[in-house]
Amino acid sequence: MNRSLTGPLTRSFALGLFLTPAALAQNIEVIYSKIYSSSTSDTPWTLDLAGAPAPSKWRAMEDFTVSHDGSQWVLKGRNQLGSDLETMLVLNGASASPLAAENLAQEGQQVPTDAVGTLWDFFDSDSPVSFDSAGNIGMSARAKGPPLNFRERVLKRDTLGNWTIVLNESDPLTGLIDTGGAAGDEGLGNSVSGVHLLDDGRIGYIVTPIQNCHSSNYPAFLYDSVGFLQCNNVASALNTGELWDGMDLSDTGGTPDGLTYWQQGDTDNTDTTIDDILAINNVVVIRENTIIAGSTVTAVDVFQTAMAASGDWVSRGDDPASDDWLVLNGTVIAKTGDSVEGGTEAYSASFLACAVNSNGDWALIAETDNADPAANQVLVVNGRVIAREGDPIDLDGNGLFDDSVFLGDGTPTSAAFNANDLAITDDGMVYFIAKLNDGAGNDLNDAGFGGPDAFVRIQAPNWNVENVLCFGDGASAGPCPCGNESAVGANEGCNHSLGYGAVLTMWGSNSVANDDAVFTTTQGIANQTSLLVQGNALQMLPFKDGILCMGNPTERVEVVTLNASGSGSTVGSIVTNGNLVPGLTRYYQQWYRNPGGVSPCGSGSNFTNGLQVDWI
């Protein structure tokens, strides 16, 4: 847990610098914003109706998709060029500058490989595209212009930039039934959603209506032009023997290998109080007004489901009291009233977004019972908060929080994060759309349209390869030197002069060969020198104002000067500086200055919590 979980978050300024520590992770990167004084507001490579360059700014950011390996993303949004040109898709490599992103598709521009004069109209809702394992793209969209006005398209784009139109509206579909009609003449309708591209090149999707087909038999789930699941088709019966009676258009998906898929909708069950379901591989896993297996939670609605390439899945929904819950692979892992990070703060009745990666790591955006409405929404990964409403943002990337930019809406009671917009990659990069404000109650929204949205990302610490230990809470490592214990469950070091402890986390892997580990200190003392110390053995001894957790012998790994928020990260090689080889277990702490005369015990320095890393 971190300082902002223990009470209301306060904002204070000195020389324009944010001085009050906020959430654990302080590396939120703004990819795009609606702050016109920043280059993050520029839309890349926008064009006018003649196809000529037309620089513009973001008006809205709506949805996004991140590739399975985290190497690419596509953002759907709107520019400032007017209603005939505004909707667009932007493609970028995850490591590339946002300014280098590609205008993948823009309203009013020619649809590649289509008839001349056939233009993009709009891009279908929910996730704007789908990636296969190789990075090829599948998507659906509406086209306009002669010779085929207002026609739906299902398309693919390979990694070389070549487009293929897989299906046009009215193209024939096979493998379907037609109640009361003659099967065999069905055609693609004008609403396609839930597109997911398979590694074998097929595209899965939901379509409604189906041309020349009875309305009781759509929506249907297809791969390319071949029916897979269809409403009121006995060939599509669920494991319970029920038939699909309806399919939610945006609530479908699957893994790129085609082995796992999910679908939400309702069945032909005569008891309509239990007919809404979520099915994985056509097996009912969550049912309306039914207790979720292994829990005491009764599901009423499923609001969102996400599935990783591995087949791991998460869903969020609510119960009869409108309290929310989160399920990972069928098991309830969080719900309203549960503790956040084991502390006194608890989840409230609003879960906004969920995501999962192929390692089974889960992410959740939720509201808590924090009494401060400017700090009660959090982004959680594997049960730990990595970002919080009110966190400062380094907009210009200079390493300082000197931009007067903060996470959240200018009106604290409004949502800080956009619902459903969340993704976590296998390496722990978390993408989301959030609001930004200036800390004084003003939205940072020069577009004057919708909310002050920003497309951002943050790297979650690699808790899979570290063991967090030796807290200054008076319990896990014994009493602090002068009664300066931090809160139980806060997972901090002993309290320093600001009344809370500093936190050490590790980012990257525990691989000696990769040598990509970064140690980050947060909640320290602003602008003070600190030192990452490595030890061969675990010990827990009162020392200076903190607990010394490692020794026998110790090595000084790297000096880090903390920034204006008391945060800082290593930049050198931990492997080289720590003389590491595979098979070693080492213990780490950050030793930081807390000038004498104000430090709780008067020694002038203190320690973070400890970390154990088993190097491979």
Predicted confidence at residue 289, as pLDDT, reads: 98
- Looking at the structure, tell me whether residues 546 and 511 fall in a common domain: yes
- Looking at the structure, tell me whether residues 77 and 199 fall in a common domain: yes
pLDDT at 280 over 80: yes
Give yes or no for a contact between 36 and 57, defined as CB atoms under 8 angstroms apart: yes
Give yes or no for a contact between 93 and 74, defined as CB atoms under 8 angstroms apart: no
Q: Mean pLDDT score of the chain, rounded to an integer?
A: 91
- Looking at the structure, tell me whether residues 550 and 418 fall in a common domain: no
Question: Rounded to whole angstroms, how far apart are CA atoms 587 and 611?
Answer: 6
Predicted confidence at residue 21, as pLDDT, reads: 33
pLDDT at 5 over 60: no
pLDDT at 22 over 50: no
- Looking at the structure, tell me whether residues 377 and 488 fall in a common domain: no
Q: Which of 424, 443, 460 is the last residue of a domain?
A: 460
Q: Which of 414, 429, 460 is the last residue of a domain?
A: 460
- Looking at the structure, tell me whether residues 512 and 488 fall in a common domain: yes
pLDDT one-digit tens code per residue, 206-224: 999 999 999 999 999 999 9
Predicted confidence at residue 149, as pLDDT, reads: 67
Percent of the chain residues past pLDDT 90, beyond the cut: 79
What percentage of the chain's residues is helix, strand, coil (to nearest 5)? 5, 45, 50
Q: Give residue 490's pLDDT band: very low, low, confident or very high (50, 70, 90).
A: confident
Q: Give residue 144's pLDDT band: very low, low, confident or very high (50, 70, 90).
A: very high
- Looking at the structure, tell me whether residues 439 and 470 fall in a common domain: no
Predicted confidence at residue 464, as pLDDT, reads: 67
Q: What does the pLDDT average to over 570-579?
A: 95
| Cα 365 versus chain centre, distance | 8
Q: What does the pLDDT average to over 292-299?
A: 96
205 CB-near residues (< 8 Å, 6+ apart): 140, 154, 192, 193, 194, 195, 196, 221, 222, 252
Q: Which of the residue ranges 13-22, 186-195, 248-257, 438-447 would you say has the lowest mean pLDDT? A: 13-22
Q: Which of 460, 495, 521 is the last residue of a domain?
A: 460
Q: What does the pLDDT average to over 515-532?
A: 91
pLDDT one-digit tens code per residue, 418-454: 999 999 998 889 999 999 999 999 999 999 888 999 9
pLDDT at 126 over 80: no
Q: What does the pLDDT average to over 340-359?
A: 91
- Looking at the structure, tell me whether residues 288 and 408 fall in a common domain: yes
CA atoms within 13 A on the CB side of 138: 27
Give yes or no for a contact between 198 and 166, defined as CB atoms under 8 angstroms apart: no
pTM over 0.85: no
Question: Rounded to whole angstroms, how far apart are CA atoms 489 and 475?
Answer: 10
CA proximity to 557, closest of 542, 540, 539, 536: 536
pLDDT one-digit tens code per residue, 362-388: 999 999 999 999 999 999 999 888 899
pLDDT at 238 over 80: yes
Question: Rounded to whole angstroms, how far apart are CA atoms 566 and 166?
Answer: 54
- Looking at the structure, tell me whether residues 249 and 202 fall in a common domain: yes
* Number of domains within the chain: 2
**Position 44, amino acid:** P
Q: How far is CA 501 from CA 4, 10, 339, 345, 498, in A?
A: 12, 17, 20, 18, 8
Q: Give residue 460's pLDDT band: very low, low, confident or very high (50, 70, 90).
A: confident
Predicted confidence at residue 55, as pLDDT, reads: 96
Q: Which of the residue ranges 144-158, 169-183, 301-315, 321-335 would you say has the lowest mean pLDDT? A: 144-158
- Looking at the structure, tell me whether residues 30 and 85 fall in a common domain: yes
Q: Give residue 84's pLDDT band: very low, low, confident or very high (50, 70, 90).
A: very high
Question: Rounded to whole angstroms, how far apart are CA atoms 47 and 52?
Answer: 5
Output the domain CATH number for residue 550.
2.60.40
Predicted confidence at residue 566, as pLDDT, reads: 85
Q: Give residue 162's pLDDT band: very low, low, confident or very high (50, 70, 90).
A: very high
Spell out where 293-335 has E strands: 298-299, 301-307, 313-318, 324-328, 331-335
Predicted confidence at residue 467, as pLDDT, reads: 87
Q: Which of the residue ranges 368-377, 517-526, 561-570 would you say has the lowest mean pLDDT? A: 561-570
- Looking at the structure, tell me whether residues 486 and 430 fall in a common domain: no
- Looking at the structure, tell me whether residues 416 and 477 fall in a common domain: no
Question: Rounded to whole angstroms, how far apart are CA atoms 27 and 44?
Answer: 24
pLDDT at 146 over 90: no
Q: What does the pLDDT average to over 324-340?
A: 96
- Looking at the structure, tell me whether residues 508 and 440 fall in a common domain: no
Largest alpha-carbon pair distance within the chain? 89
**Position 250, amino acid:** S
Q: What does the pLDDT average to over 542-561?
A: 95
pLDDT at 90 over 60: yes
The b-or-e profile of 387-397 (16+ CB within 10 A means b, else e) is: bbbbbbbbbee
pLDDT at 23 over 60: no
Beta pairing, strands 137-144 & 119-123: antiparallel
Residue numbers of the domain that contains 296:
3-460
pLDDT at 65 over 50: yes
Of 16 and 60, the one with more pLDDT = 60
Per-residue H/E/C for 143-199: EECCCCCCEEEEEEECCCCCEEEEEECCCECECCCCCCCCCCCCECCCEEEEEEECC
